[in-house]
Amino acid sequence: MNISPEIRAKAAAAELALADIYADIDRIARVNTEKVLDCFREAEVSESLFTPSTGYGYGDRGRDVIDALSAKIFGGDAGFMRPQIISGTHAITVVLFGLLRPGDVLLSLSGMPYDTLQPVIGCDGEKGSGSLADFGVEFHAIPLKDGKMDLCALRACMEKYGSRVKVVHIQRSKGYETRPTHTVHEICEAAYAVRKNAAEFGFAAPYVTCDNCYGEFTEEREPALAVGEKEAGVDIIVGSLIKNPGGGMADNGGYIVGTEKAVELCGYRLSCPGVGLDAGASLGQNRNMLRGLFYAPHTVAQAMKTAHLAAYLFEEAGYTVSPRWNERRSDIIQTVECASPDGLCAFCRGIQSSSPIDAHVVPEPWEMPGYSDPVIMAAGAFVGGASIELSADGPLRAPYTAFLQGGLTYESARLAIMSALQQMSQN
């Protein structure tokens, strides 16, 4: 690889500075690995569960065990993890349509939700596509205050809309924004505030849902309600298996975990009322999903170290990064402001050229549907679009921010970070 001795030396020095942070990441991976293995033992995971089912998939024991495992590992009373969920956006759509009814109000407590959810909610202004707005669900985004959820504004909104508020949605990770990630603690505090407000105003507590994409296994626990601590979490957490919880092993899928009632309603939306979670063939994916859950705490640790290394090296080279190299994280996303279009393209070229797949191709900006500026993406993944595998992308507009995430192995991802730095310094 075309990486200078100077840049290799910088990476080695960065790793010395990051030693304590890496040790803490390893500690979290150990805690989460133990939790996963305890759940596997309790659920009596065995090879026979890998047997694929077809058709309706009635009586697929592997599928039922994976559903129960997802609930247990993420701290909910119930849950499911299925290959029928095609993406994170689909999983969140299942949740919102599962819980909301005409006339209800949906509040977003972390500002505007992730780009791909805006057509789902209908806040992009499109009509007739079957969005929540088409079905008479009213939506209000509560802007963040200094990057944090604004609990005063939440209270005012809940007072204003009263019992019509059916879902309060929180997005843990920043998406394509520049705010800090909400920590599990902050999310649990917000969920507590939602219930307290509802009790004070005298109406039934709305469901609190959390888009948990990119957050799984970065802390010791997830923001779902744990059995026995009913006031300390959200009703539903939801995410994609081509991100953290798939461990880089799942071919596709997603999960929805939470309270019995909320999960049941989501199950009716995933398939249909009456059928719920009793059907759905696993089509041979059980082995990959179980292997993914097993690997996930470790894989997430690889991605976390990669993000810290990138933050350190690019900060040292004079770029603005977020989070800073020594800041605690609650997701795997790292941003680097590349300062110019050429800088952003060089960054992505560096990442691409060190990928296991398609290292020989050169990424170019293109007009992606749904985005106002050309976007450049670097991705060389074994699973199409998997962003637990090292990937980088960004819109070509100032300040030319690259969004970097993933890394199946730290050894390979660190080469890609060095290569990106090399490309940018030659630029």
Residues that bind ligand PLP (CB under 6 A): 87-89, 114, 116, 171, 173, 175, 211, 213-214, 240
Residue type, 262: A
Instruction: Give 318 or 369: the residue with its C-beta nearer to ligand PLP.
Output: 369
> Distance of alpha carbon 407 from its chain centroid, rounded?
15
What's the min distance (Å) between Cβ of 303 and ligand PLP?
13
Instruction: Give 88 or 380: the residue with its C-beta nearer to ligand PLP.
Output: 88
Residue 60 corresponds to which tokens in the numbers above? 């697929």
What's the min distance (Å) between Cβ of 336 and ligand PLP?
17
What's the min distance (Å) between Cβ of 13 and ligand PLP?
32
Instruction: Give 77 or 331: the residue with its C-beta nearer to ligand PLP.
Output: 331
- Asked if the peptide bond before residue 399 counts as cis, ω within 30 degrees of 0, the response is yes
The closest alpha carbon to 188, from 146, 147, 237, 145, belongs to 237
Taking the C-alpha atoms of residue 210 and residue 78, their distance in angstroms, rounded to an integer, is 15
φ/ψ (deg, to 5) at 388? -80, -20
Element (H, E) at 93: helix 88-99
Q: 370 and 316 in contact (C-beta within 8 Å)?
A: no
Taking the C-alpha atoms of residue 294 and residue 32, their distance in angstroms, rounded to an integer, is 10
* Residue whose beta carbon is closest to ligand PLP: 88
Q: How does DSSP classify residue 116?
A: G
Taking the C-alpha atoms of residue 191 and residue 231, their distance in angstroms, rounded to an integer, is 8
What's the min distance (Å) between Cβ of 243 and ligand PLP?
6
What's the min distance (Å) between Cβ of 330 and ligand PLP?
12
Taking the C-alpha atoms of residue 123 and residue 189, their distance in angstroms, rounded to an integer, is 27
What's the min distance (Å) between Cβ of 93 and ligand PLP?
9
Residue 422 corresponds to which tokens in the numbers above? 């090399």
Instruction: Give 71 or 117: the residue with its C-beta nearer to ligand PLP.
Output: 117
